[in-house]
Amino acid sequence: MKLSVHFTPVGLSSNMIAGRPVLVVDILRASTTIVAALANGGRAVLPAASAEDALKLAQNLERDDVLLAGERRLEKIPGFALGNSPLEMTPETVGGKTLVMATTNGTPALLAAEAGRPVIIGAAVNFTAAAEAAARAFEEAGELTILCAGREKQFALEDAYAAGRFAQAIVPGKLRRRLEMNDAAIAARELVRRYGTKWTSALNASAAARDLKALGFRADLKFAAEPDRYEVVPILNDRRVTLPERG
């Protein structure tokens, strides 16, 4: 059995993951925000590579139930209805809506993973549910890739820590002796040794947390660090992120 972690999408080709299970994490903040949006009644999230692509996609849909959401440099894109804050994803705002989302790191990571089957979106806020879904996929396929969104194509501490947490939860102790891991997976698990099991420890140590605090998003950071707020497992299929039970 094989477990691979990629700290960024750089160097990850579609043939490396085609038809194989992938777990995507962008803890601060896209995967957290997507989980919150769908848990609070959003119909679907459509990831876009850029703000321009998001605008075109929303225009092509020609529907009244579409909301543009996203950020550049952590702040809401001008003209978009929503930013990338999970606190914005209230039932009143997103219920029954389709979100077209463009973020700096998270949505490009989702698009990089789209050849996988299934593509699971994980965060602290849905940790147990996502880990259980990934564990089932791992057991069936005999392999799993955990893809970190990273930060502007570079390593992000919070995502790497999340990868380590998921790796520990997904692989039963009895399988670890015969588990094949790449170096990034080994390093991610070592981060869990360093920071322990409190999400706040690793998240607060990250550069992303520092920048979020500086821009007034301290509440987003607190939200993202609270595990198991939700029991939903968003799945990306055909460039749409939905909850399986909602099709």
Contact 166, 130 (CB under 8 A): yes
List the 2-6 sheet strands across, edge first.
75-76, 66-72, 98-102, 44-48, 240-242, 235-237, 119-122, 22-25, 143-148, 2-6, 180-181
CATH superfamily of 2-240: ComB-like (3.90.1560.10)
CA 80 – CA 102 distance, rounded (Å): 10
Q: Which two tokens stand for residue 77?
A: 């894109």
DSSP 8-state symbol, 144: E
Buried b (16+ CB within 10 A) or exposed e, 107-136: bbbbbbbbbbbbbbbbbbbbbebbbebbbe
The count of C-alpha atoms lying within 13 angstroms of the C-alpha of 84, restricted to the half-sphere facing its C-beta, is: 26
Contact 33, 67 (CB under 8 A): no
pTM, two decimal places:
0.97
CA 165 – CA 188 distance, rounded (Å): 8
Q: Give the chain's residues under pLDDT 70.
A: 174-176, 245-247
CA 30 – CA 10 distance, rounded (Å): 18
Q: Which two tokens stand for residue 158?
A: 């919070």
Residue 53's SS3 state is helix
Which pLDDT does position 134 carry in this prediction?
Answer: 98
Which pLDDT does position 175 carry in this prediction?
Answer: 64
